[in-house]
Amino acid sequence: MESIFDRASWEKYLKGFTIYDCAIVRQHGFCLVLVEQKENRDILPRTRFLTVLYDKPIAVGSLPMVEAGSFSYTTIASGLNPPEYVAVDMGSMVYS
């Protein structure tokens, strides 16, 4: 079995973050909600939305990623037609 992330892409996209939620967008693609691992709970951790399409080799810098600092307890869902996703947090912040 091949891995989806090599060491370089893991370091760039996932290091220091926890996979909090996932939505499967298509057969060879998904979107991850990643939450920053941090000790200080006084400030909201950064949240990343990482779209992974793995039907072709993943190169560092080739994955669409958005990072935000104002999301909290975010969940994600996907639709079939069109194949998109939407993320919503406890404060009604939305990302699509």
Q: Indicate whether 1 belongs to any domain.
A: no
What's residue 61's pLDDT? 65
As a whole number of angstroms, the distance between CA 40 and CA 25 comes to 33
What's residue 1's pLDDT? 38
Q: How many domains does the chain have?
A: 1
Q: Indicate whether 83 belongs to any domain.
A: yes
Contacts of 88 (CB under 8 A, 6+ apart): 74, 75, 94
The one-letter amino acid code at 50 reads L
**Tokens standing for residue 28:** 């060879």
Domain that holds residue 81: 7-95
Q: What are the tens digits of pLDDT across the range 2-51?
A: 577 778 888 888 999 999 999 998 787 889 999 999 888 778 889 999 98
As a whole number of angstroms, the distance between CA 96 and CA 91 comes to 16
Contacts of 90 (CB under 8 A, 6+ apart): 72, 73
What's residue 56's pLDDT? 66
Q: Indicate whether 39 belongs to any domain.
A: yes
